[in-house]
Amino acid sequence: MKTYAIPGLGSLLMHHQLVATLGGLLVRIDPELSFSNDMEFMHSVHDNVMYTLSVEIPCSVLDLTHDFVQDGMKDAWKSFASLVDRFWPEPSEPRNQTYSSMQKDLSVPLLQAQKAPTPIQKTIDGNEYTIHWRLEGTDLKEWIKSKLLYVIKEALYISVQTYLTQNQGLYHLTWTKSEGYQINYGQVIVSQDTGVRFLGSYLTAKVLIFGKEHEDQDIRIDFDVQAIKIPGSIYKVMENKLRAMKFTPSKNEGKCGRFQGDCHAIFSDTNMSPHQKHELDIKINFSMKTFIDLKALYYIKRKRDTCTIFIEKSEDETWVLGSTILRAHSIIMDNTGSDIIYHFLPPRQIEREMSQQVNA
């Protein structure tokens, strides 16, 4: 049995982690520039100057509206896919998430070879990670034009999904109560036999929800999305159940978004433990060894007596596991080879957090 023989979280890892906000990952630029939006950023960049970009830990989580941020990251991911097709055209077949034609240590964006940025790597626990890039001002403008970088409230960001999938490395993503979730350059010991290999565009699994099994479901993991997105036919069933509990769509989310209502209508026992069964529990089975046990408590957020269901309708029939999934399972993302492999680990503190949340 092959394992990742790497130490668990400790003081060492505190210096090797990123904190993801709703805006994505904060990017520092040297020399520093002054700007408040994408256009001002473009005008402040000098074509022949060399710039260094670094992903860093933000000082605080910005107060950002959900729709604005999600749209920005969605545009960034679509633009990245467009650049791949432009510079490395391939036959119209399912594309591997770690593009085989890509330089092994090259992140985003995929510019023409003569314009490629210079990645600056750091070795942590035996694995190399790209945390800086050096590039000329003309190329930096292309990053902004292509929305691979974007400005939010005078700060520069890159989407989490773009960074993780296009920078080879071994990442440990874990939920934290105060900061949302962290991306650690360091991992716990886990058997590679329990991993789920990301082949083509999706993972495939059997999903158990509302007492019914759904075979061969397409599953996608997207950390730029916050909620769990489910196929329309299943969303309709959940909508009917929630409306019967007097839950209504959140004003900010629209007809395909999250529902809100009285917590007592959905949890009769305010001291409910994540181990207790609930009719809204979801189980995703990838294999006999690998599954996601998504208890209702993990995707329902309580604020006083109001509960918000972090479930949305998928744009297609694909399940999309957003960052909320980290409340149920920490994830090791192995992006060191030709395919991405995911390992789902029990989180360390979620049970205590859930207990505190329900009693809030």
pLDDT tens for residues 336-353?
A: 888 888 888 876 555 555
Whole-angstrom Cα distance, residue 87 to residue 106? 14
The pLDDT of residue 153 is 83
The pLDDT of residue 256 is 62
Low-confidence spans in the chain with pLDDT less than 50: 1-2, 5-15, 57-74, 76-114, 355, 358-360
Whole-angstrom Cα distance, residue 340 to residue 350? 26
Rounded to the nearest angstrom, the gap between the alpha carbon of residue 234 and the centroid of all alpha carbons in its chain is 23
pLDDT tens for residues 192-247?
A: 555 566 555 678 899 999 999 999 999 999 998 889 999 999 999 999 999 999 99
The pLDDT of residue 105 is 29
The model carries a pTM of 0.73
pLDDT tens for residues 55-71?
A: 874 433 223 333 334 44
Under 8 Å between Cβ of 192 and 110: no
Q: Where are the domains of the chain?
A: 13-184, 196-358
Nearest CA among 170, 204, 165 for reference residue 77: 165
Q: Going by CATH, does the domain composed of 196-358 fall within 2.40.70.10?
A: yes
pLDDT tens for residues 114-129?
A: 456 787 778 777 778 8
The structure tokens listed for 285 are 């089975």
The pLDDT of residue 213 is 94
Identify the sign of the CA torsion 271, 277, 283, 289. Answer: positive
The pLDDT of residue 230 is 95
The pLDDT of residue 207 is 95
**Residue tagged 């959140």 (tokens):** 250
Sequence-ordered list of residues with C-beta below 8 angstroms from that of 308, at least 6 positions apart, any chain: 250, 258, 259, 260, 300, 301, 302
The pLDDT of residue 274 is 61
The pLDDT of residue 198 is 55
What three-state secondary structure class fits 294? strand
